[in-house]
Structure 1
Amino acid sequence: MTASSIQTLTQRRVLPVGESGSLWMTRPSCGIFEFRGMHLRLEVADPTEVLFPTDCGLSLIDALNEESAPDLEGVNALDIGAGSGLYSVALLAAGAERVTALDINSASTAQTVANVLSNGLDVTRLTCVTSPLEEYTPGEQFDLVITNPPHLPHDPSYARADGLETALVARGGGRAMYNAVIEQMDTLLAPGGTLLMAHSSLADIPRTVQEFTGHGYKCSTLKIFEMDIPLLAYAEHKDTMLGLLKEQRAAGRAEFEGSRFTVHALMFQRPHTASPQR
């Protein structure tokens, strides 16, 4: 399946160029978003430690407002790359029984807890874990996994040891976290469970779809969004990053035009029977 064929599954929502087209109702240090009839508030104390969610991450929230989105009531969910707690807050507000917020960045815990509390949600239903995904061993499987992996290609010239780096940039041409999710999913997701993913067109959507469908997962697209590549934080390295992305595009591993790309809100459903061994 190609990225182009995936795009035909649903109408694309085009966000205008620049900040005026943001999915956020208010932003940037404190944002309010609507989710299933609720107005939820998200704040980031220090954006250098924990990135305030971009439209890439918020796109999945928007897609989950669609009628085709899964029921979240009573689920035991895992939020991979929880960051500021955007998805954890939304899931708990929608009635999730339990949410585990996993992030490699230790600063994520305090920010996620603060945002759960500020929205009047039951923090006893939240568990925060600081660990790389590859080393996480929960001892249980989840009904639902949700994630917005980092998707910009890594380069030593703009590498930085902070929350921005872990949220936006990944090795392997931006695919490192996608690959880790694919590798770990049969361990983390219960048979019949659902994986929700905001997938950037900069990081080879067809490869991810092929990997999952090849192991029996059913893939569907909830919504597609077109928006600006998040280059503001890397303004002085824009040419380097775009150069890497152009290399990825030439190799058939990225799709974008100028500074515009797409984010696909994807839903993967694991079969109830065991998947073939990876």
Structure 2
Amino acid sequence: MPGYLGGVKPLVPPGVYTPQEDTALLADALSEEPLPPGADVLDVGTGTGALALEAARRGNRVTAVDVSWRAVWAARVNAWLAGVPVRVRHGNLFAPVRGLRFDLILANPPYVPAPPGSAQPRGTARAWDAGRDGRLVLDRICRESPALLRPGGVLLVVHSALSDPDRTLQRLRASGLKATVTRRCRIAFGPVLRERERWLRERGLLSAAEDKEELVVVRAELPL
């Protein structure tokens, strides 16, 4: 159910993204990812910390990062309430963890295309607005994440088919990673997509018959 992971409803203060179907899809991928004991895991754009908590419950050493101070404090409180250790840092994407290496990186970035002239995203909108092609943050993840992976390390990133999964695969492969789509699901349009539906259809990102959004999880591994 959206908003719940591990049977616990997280604290979600105003302006912080509520865990939804994309979070749950990425959590499913996390649950099946084999990790060495005490693996180092990074959850970038952690929001409430829901995915970081899922990783910490498995005994991993977890670092979570978010650009929003409200999200940072929410993640810290949720980790405390769940009784699991998570190191939560404030900063823009990978900036707070430069020079570190991880066995697994989790990313649920903003990925919804935004019409030209849209206001600079603020508050909760920073969790979904991602420029005209939906790749404002995705391309940075594809470019910067390989340097933070240990050999054999894995990136799991979830995003919408509206933001071009093939481009994600191409960019990750160009960086030397083995990348593939491992999960797909279709969900009803949420409020943001309903508001932008006409524009998305005019751009050809949605066909006239499409009435659901497809989400994908891309898994990319740095070869040993």
State the match for 1:93 in structure 2. 57
With over 3 angstroms needed to count, the CA separation of the structure-2 counterparts of 1:190 and 1:255, relative to structure 1, is: farther
State the match for 1:62 in structure 2. 28
With over 3 angstroms needed to count, the CA separation of the structure-2 counterparts of 1:134 and 1:265, relative to structure 1, is: closer
Q: Tell me if the contact between 2:44 and 2:94 (Cα under 8 Å) persists in the aligned partners.
A: no
Select which of 23, 41, 45 maps to 2:8: 41
With over 3 angstroms needed to count, the CA separation of the structure-2 counterparts of 1:172 and 1:129, relative to structure 1, is: farther
With over 3 angstroms needed to count, the CA separation of the structure-2 counterparts of 1:91 and 1:211, relative to structure 1, is: same
Deviation at 1:175, TM superposition (A): 0.6
With over 3 angstroms needed to count, the CA separation of the structure-2 counterparts of 1:63 and 1:78, relative to structure 1, is: closer
State the match for 2:222 in structure 1. 270
User: Counterpart of 2:8 in 1: which secondary structure?
Assistant: strand
User: Counterpart of 1:58 in 2: which secondary structure?
Assistant: helix
Deviation at 1:80, TM superposition (A): 0.9
Q: Tell me if the contact between 1:42 and 1:115 (Cα under 8 Å) persists in the aligned partners.
A: no
Select which of 197, 213, 216 maps to 1:261: 213
User: Counterpart of 2:48 in 1: which secondary structure?
Assistant: coil
Matched, 1:174 2:138: no
> How many pairs does the alignment contain?
222
With over 3 angstroms needed to count, the CA separation of the structure-2 counterparts of 1:247 and 1:210, relative to structure 1, is: farther
Q: d(CA) in 2 for partners of 1:221 and 1:212? A: 12
Q: Tell me if the contact between 1:50 and 1:84 (Cα under 8 Å) persists in the aligned partners.
A: yes
Normalising by the residue count of structure 1, what TM-score does the alignment of the two structures yield? Answer: 0.72
Select which of 195, 201, 209 maps to 1:246: 201
State the match for 2:77 in structure 1. 114
Q: Tell me if the contact between 2:169 and 2:180 (Cα under 8 Å) persists in the aligned partners.
A: no
Matched AA of 2:10 = E
Q: d(CA) in 2 for partners of 1:161 and 1:215? A: 31
Normalising by the residue count of structure 2, what TM-score does the alignment of the two structures yield? Answer: 0.88
User: What is the percent sequence identity of the aligned residues?
Assistant: 25
What is the root-mean-square deviation of aligned Cα atoms in Å?
2.3
CA deviation vs aligned residue, 1:211-235 (integer Å, no higher than 9, x gap): 11233311233321111232x2576
Q: Tell me if the contact between 1:40 and 1:119 (Cα under 8 Å) persists in the aligned partners.
A: no
Matches within 5 A, 1:144-183: 144-155=104-115, 156-157=117-118, 159-162=120-123, 164-183=124-143
With over 3 angstroms needed to count, the CA separation of the structure-2 counterparts of 1:183 and 1:58, relative to structure 1, is: same
Query: Gaps (5+ residues) in structure 1?
Result: 1-23, 34-38, 273-278
With over 3 angstroms needed to count, the CA separation of the structure-2 counterparts of 1:215 and 1:161, relative to structure 1, is: closer
Q: d(CA) in 2 for partners of 1:243 and 1:173? A: 15
